Amino acid sequence: MKGKIQSFFMLSLAAVTAVLLLTSCFGGNNEEAAQPPPEAESPALLTGNVVLSCTQACTDRGQCGTLADGRVVILGNFEGPAVINHNLTLPADATAVIQETSTNVIETVANPTRSEQTFYQVVLSDNSKMGWVASWCVNPSQ
């Protein structure tokens, strides 16, 4: 009986640790993730080659972070544009090619406002990963 209790305790501890690690890596809560960009004008849409960047705007909105091993990543989504519930990480400073563009209305939870946000479907230059990322995290290639 004592062995079963210890096993249950260790499994529970491991699960809680994993959840805490993941939430600390992916930063931001829903309120932070949906903040509209401070600039009043919409930037020009990007095409072609780009660089994924953990910019200040990307960080402020919870769209990038640092993994436990120290790698900086951009958060994305396989299925479509998203500012929460990410299911993809892409390496920061990686080059990528834009496949598709989508402009979506996002709503800020903290102070109910709606704004348009551009998302890009990108494929890494080495074709290893493809997904959607917010424009806050995409810069033109030099």
The CB-side HSE value for 33 (13 A sphere, CA atoms) comes to 20
Structural domain spans, the chain: 2-140
From 84, 88, 41, 77, select the one nearest 61 (Cα to Cα): 84
Rounded-to-10 torsion of CA 68, 140, 126, 119:
70
* Beta partners for residue 118, in sequence order: 103
Instruction: Classify residue 134 by burial, with Cβ atoms within 10 Å: 0-12, 13-18, 19+.
Output: buried
Residue with tokens 């951009």: 74
* DSSP reduced 3-state for 141: coil
pLDDT tier, 88 (very low <50, low <70, confident <90, very high otherwise): very high
Residue that wins the pLDDT comparison between 108 and 6: 108
Average pLDDT rounded to a whole number, residues 133-140: 96
pLDDT tier, 66 (very low <50, low <70, confident <90, very high otherwise): very high
Residues 94-127: pLDDT tens digits?
A: 999 999 999 999 887 878 889 899 999 999 999 9
Average pLDDT rounded to a whole number, residues 8-36: 44
Residues 27-65: pLDDT tens digits?
A: 444 444 444 444 444 567 888 899 999 999 999 999 999
Give the separation between CA 123 and CA 120, rounded to whole angstroms.
10
Q: What is the pLDDT of residue 108?
A: 79
pLDDT tier, 84 (very low <50, low <70, confident <90, very high otherwise): very high
Q: What is the pLDDT of residue 7?
A: 52
